[in-house]
Each structure stands twice: as C-alpha cells, then as structure tokens.
Amino acid sequence: MSIKADWVAVDWGSLSLRAWAMDAEGQDLATTSLDQGTEKLSQTAFEATLCGSISPWLVDGQTDVIACGMVGSQNGWFETPYVLAPCKPLSKLVKAPSTDPRLNVQIIAGISQAHPADVMHGEETQIAGFQKLNPNWDGVICLPGNHTKWVQMSAGEIVSFQTFMTGEMFALLSTSSILRRSVAGKDWDQSAFDQAVDEAISRPESIAARLFGLRAEHLLNNQPTATARSRLSGLLIGAELAAAKPYWLGQSLAIIGPKTISDGYATALAAQHAPVTRTDTKQMTLTGLKVAYSHYKERQ
C-alpha cells in the first residue's frame, strides 16, 4: 500500500536515523530506521540520505519534516543556534538548507547552559514529550545514554542540567582499555553491580583505584568476567550518582531511556530510596516531535 505523509517526524542521532510518516491527526502510518547516524555522514550527504529514506512518503508539492537530535549539531546537517537555559524545551525551530523542492526540513534547536557550560541535542524533544504526557510535572529527569543528562524542570522549563560521559566511559574501558579482557562477555551479576554502586557512592574519590582492582582481581583471584563487567558498570554509575546527588536527592524523578540502560539507574536509585517513574524513549521522542510540529503549524 502506498503511504503519503502529511508530515514526517525524524529522530537523527549520532548512530542512527529513525523517521515516521505522520498523518494530519498525529498518527504514525509507517516508520523506517537506518544505520546512518550523523557520525557516519559528511555534511553534504544529509539531504540525500533523508530523501533516500522517506521519498516514498513524500507528496506532490512540499512536505514538512520536523527533525531532532544531533542532526542540528556541529557535526550534523548544519549547526542550529542554541537556546540558552532556563527555557522551554521546544523554544526554536530552524529551517535546514536544502535543494530538493519536496522538502521543508525544520530542525529543533538544542539547549545550552552558560555556567557550567553544557549542551543537549535531542533530549529536549524527549522532555517535551514527557511534559505533554505528564502536564504540570516538576522535578528531575534523568536521560541515560552515552552522555547521561540530569535535567531540573520547573514550571514547564529546563532550569539547569548536567551531562555525564558515563556510558561512553563504560564503552571505552570495556573495549579499549587494559580492562577489556577482564570484563569480556555479556553476562550479568546483579549483586556485584549493587555492591559496586554502594562503594562508589560512599567513596567516589577512589574510583580510579577500584577500576584497576577489576584487573587485579581477574589476574590473582580469577574473578568472573560477569562480576567484573557488572562492577565496572556499578562503579561508574555510582560515581555519577555521587556527583549528581544535588539533582536527585529528595526530588521527584523520572527516567527517559532504553530499558537496557535505564535498568541500572533505576536499580541504583531505588537502593538510595529514590524511586523513579520509568518511560519509553521512542514514545517520548515521537510525542515531542508531534508537539514541535503543532507549535510550528501554529506559527505559520
């Protein structure tokens, strides 16, 4: 069946592109996903890549495309000007330069923070989706990932936020460091994770020594790789929670993130008597893109 979209929603991150064909009522008619993230494309390849993925959905004339994520970063299609926090999550849409007359691509601008310096691309859209589904919610939203973000929300605005490179550190240490053989495999030891979280929260200043201890335990005591891998994750997340305590302690908390990553955060926070509301990343993203599109049409 041929599908023609009233508009197209796009989530374009560092590693992948996901697009939805949308009808006028905000229902997604079809979806497509490509392993063509911004890290893999030259600046001149974005328009052709997008057209190649959504061309069957385009109507005669021009189709609106609302895009979020790293597509609006320095390494994306083009760098949109940041909106300075405190601000609403969806404060600005910027038209992308394109030559195909079928496309009207509007990119959601990222959010910046002056002190301490920080930026986000894509998370603001997920936050807007969460707000739409949870009106009048104030508190802190954690968005786990390669670069986990803690975001303070109040009165519908992003008040402040902080980014931790915990996910990227785990990836580098587990694949490119001296620990890589000690933490090989995918098996999991929950008790080892829980204990490591507690250790790191109690003494975050010892994180570097405890990391090397994973190798020593493997060499001298044949520590199982599942235990070491779980401890590595727990130490890194625990150190993050220790540093982010002003964000989560005594706050209403929500997590927006993939289950595989969010589980560790939710478990670690629950152990600190900080229960969280769990949400689905794709749902929050698509809902946020719908909100952005409605704002765009209202301004036309």
Give the pLDDT mean for 212-230.
97
> What is the number of domains present in the chain?
2
In this structure, are 180 and 117 located in the same domain? Answer: no
The answer to whether residue 287 sits within a structural domain is no
The answer to whether residue 131 sits within a structural domain is no
In this structure, are 109 and 172 located in the same domain? Answer: no
Look at residue 43 in the predicted model and tell me its pLDDT: 87
In this structure, are 13 and 104 located in the same domain? Answer: yes
Burial tier of 169 (Cβ tally within 10 Å: 0-12, 13-18, 19+)? middle
Look at residue 290 in the predicted model and tell me its pLDDT: 98
Task: Extract long-range pairs of 167-173: CB within 8 Å, 24+ residues apart.
Answer: 167/261, 169/236, 170/232, 170/233, 170/236, 171/146, 173/211, 173/232, 173/236
> For the chain, what percentages of helix, strand and coil (3-state, to nearest 5) are there?
45, 25, 35
Cis before 86? omega within 30: yes
In this structure, are 88 and 14 located in the same domain? Answer: yes
In this structure, are 168 and 275 located in the same domain? Answer: yes
CATH number, domain of 52, equals: 3.30.420.300
45: Cβ contacts below 8 Å, ≥ 6 apart: none
Q: How far apart are CA 249 and CA 240, in angstroms?
A: 13
Give the pLDDT mean for 15-35.
95
Residue pLDDT, tens place only, 130-172: 999 999 999 999 999 999 999 999 999 999 999 999 999 999 9
In this structure, are 170 and 117 located in the same domain? Answer: no
| pTM for this predicted structure | 0.95
On the question of pLDDT at 1 being above 80, the answer is no
CATH number, domain of 212, equals: 3.30.420.310
Look at residue 110 in the predicted model and tell me its pLDDT: 97
The answer to whether residue 234 sits within a structural domain is yes
Residue pLDDT, tens place only, 275-293: 999 999 999 999 999 999 9
pLDDT band with cut points at 50, 70 and 90 for residue 300: confident
The answer to whether residue 156 sits within a structural domain is no
